Amino acid sequence: MQDQFVAGAVIYAKDIERVSHFYSALAGLPIVQQEPDYVLLESAKFQLVVVAIAPSIANQIIISSPPERRENTAIKICFAVHNLATARETAIRLGGELNSPEREWAFQGNKVCDAYDPEGNIFQVRASML
């Protein structure tokens, strides 16, 4: 574990093992600590904590397949990836999905695409066009 990360985020999940494995593989964030109620993923610049939703709440949540997108949120986490095509394949293999290539756009020297994880949480990926 790093002494001080630059930025971080917390995601609450029904299945912390599945969600943490998804982000570890997709965003290249190593799992540095795993406890029964949270998983810590961390690089030198970013820390992601996947926290278990309380069982009393989790028991009421149904995750469909594919999951329903949770789009009504004010914050969207963004991850740097090497290649959107590879990220797209990884996401599908692990229960999430990137939007189709037709819905990608350019922003500040990056190719950008929105996506969702195995529980429907919306996030964004960016791959450098340089």
DSSP character string of 35-70 = ETTEEEEE-SSEEEEEEEPPHHHHTT----SSPPPB
Residue type present at position 15: D
Residue burial 12-26, b: 16+ Cβ < 10 Å; e: rest: bbbbbebbbbbbbeb
Top-tier CATH class for 7-55+69-128: alpha beta
Residue 4: per-residue pLDDT:
73
CA–CA distance from 88 to each of 50, 113, 120 (Å)?
A: 21, 10, 15
The pLDDT assigned to 130 comes to 84
What's the CA gap between 98 and 82, in Å, rounded? 14
**pLDDT at position 3:** 64
Position 120, amino acid: G
- The pTM of this model reads 0.91
**pLDDT of the chain, 130 residues: tens digit per residue:** 446 778 999 999 999 999 999 999 999 999 999 999 999 999 999 999 999 999 999 999 999 888 989 988 889 999 999 999 999 999 999 999 999 999 999 999 999 999 999 999 999 999 999 8
Give the rounded distance of the alpha carbon of 115 from its chain centre: 9
